[in-house]
Amino acid sequence: MDINFEKSALLEIDVQNDFCPGGALAVADGDKVAAPLNGLARRFAAAGAPVIATQDWHPAGHCSFASTGRAAGEGEVLWPDHCVQGTAGADFHPGLDLRPVTLILHKGFRPSLDSYSAFFENDRKTATGLAAYLKGLAVDTVYLGGLATDYCVFFSAMDAVKLRFTVYLLRDAVRGVNYPEGSVEKALSAMESAGVILL
């Protein structure tokens, strides 16, 4: 894979214990994304290119938790409690090598606002600051991997396209929830249609 490291960044999306086997919101084979991400992250780090790891970082009683007892809004999914700040479930999976990581971005930390995308909260207006950070480094291309294909990876990739980044999705470095059934294939198709390049 030929990469222009001067203009590229690697985004490692939510490779956390709660999204891996044994976690509160486990993705099948979620831990398998670590090895390919580690290999690529080492190449980025050796070239002095940014490696950004996002981390779901929810307060207890977060609005996305089904345990709050509130009704889901239209098109909204409520989840088991997961990635609660300071818990082992919120930690990065031990298989993910954090040494090449240049920035850890917390998202979903506002009690009444969820965040799937690495770029925007789910209100689709509140920016996380990642786009400005990357533009400041003259990055115009992002490589994406992590969890989960049909949610946080999907929304991150789609927002990156809207923000005029060239976007590559690393197929061997993503895994999906597939809820509802078929959502992974639907997400991959939508990303490809939007201009995301599947590698």
Regions in the chain scoring below 50 on pLDDT: none
* Confidence at residue 1, expressed as pLDDT on a 0 to 100 scale: 79
* Confidence at residue 69, expressed as pLDDT on a 0 to 100 scale: 93
**Among 189, 178, 52, 65, CA closest to 119:** 52
Domain ranges of the chain: 5-198
The tokens describing 32, both together, are 């398998």
**3-state DSSP call for residue 8?**
strand
* Confidence at residue 134, expressed as pLDDT on a 0 to 100 scale: 98
Q: Where are the beta strands (DSSP E) in 108-176?
A: 141-147, 166-175
**Among 8, 20, 169, CA closest to 102:** 8
* Confidence at residue 31, expressed as pLDDT on a 0 to 100 scale: 98
Residue position matching structure tokens 């030929």: 2
CATH number of 5-198: 3.40.50.850
107 is catalytic: yes
pLDDT tens, 161-176?
999 999 999 999 999 9
Cβ(13)–Cβ(144) below 8 Å:
yes
The one catalytic residue in 20, 83, 152, 159 is 152
H/E element, 198: strand 197-198
14 is catalytic: yes
**3-state DSSP call for residue 155?**
helix
**3-state DSSP call for residue 54?**
strand
* Confidence at residue 152, expressed as pLDDT on a 0 to 100 scale: 98
The one catalytic residue in 14, 56, 114, 159 is 14
* Confidence at residue 74, expressed as pLDDT on a 0 to 100 scale: 86
The one catalytic residue in 107, 114, 150, 159 is 107
20 is catalytic: no
**3-state DSSP call for residue 142?**
strand
